[in-house]
Structure 1
Amino acid sequence: MTKEEKAAYWRQQVDGFQASGLTVKHYCAQAGIAVATLHYWRKRFAAPSEPRSMAAVPEGFLPVTLAPIRSSVSPVEIHLLSGRGLKLAAPVDTDWLQTLVRVLESPCG
């Protein structure tokens, strides 16, 4: 089968799928073809999308640059009796911390 014949066969399959009203899975089962192969050819026959420039910002929107959040709190290290350690880099709820320590220090924790 030449490249042109192969492309024509798959064009028929893609068109047949689109006209069938079936799901990809059901169409492929009926046609005896692989789902992944039909997806490949559907994508290949799809109109090429235009590359979007980052400079092209839709009207009414401004570009946003995200920066990492820098905590103003110094990390706190807690060394437990079990030898485990906790390093907290953000403020935490004291009740939650107390529960965490209790669980980590319990015999099955």
Structure 2
Amino acid sequence: MNRAERQQAWRTRIENYRASGQTMVVWSKANNHTIHELKYWLKQIEGPPKSKRSKSASTFIPVTVTPPPARSNLPTGSLRIHVGAASIELSESFDSTQLREIVKVLKDLC
């Protein structure tokens, strides 16, 4: 069996493994393969896990940290964030999900 045929055979095996819902160990034993063979062919066919793939779409946004003015009008325990021309003031109990959505919108606008 040449490499292309082996690769096609393993594509089919991997589809069967995924559809089985079994762990790698259980599937490998049940199908007379080693777990190392399964892992090798998963990597060969599917590439590295998503967490290890490069994230070319990532960008860094510069952040400048400045000390607060001597007489700040912010209540104790609060924080002010500037995104472009916008300013967001947060209390200690702010909703992080809502802040994330606000920053996404401001990033597109500013």
* TM-score with structure 1 setting the length: 0.45
Structure with greater helix share of residues: 2
Bigger radius of gyration, 1 or 2? Answer: 1
* TM-score with structure 2 setting the length: 0.45
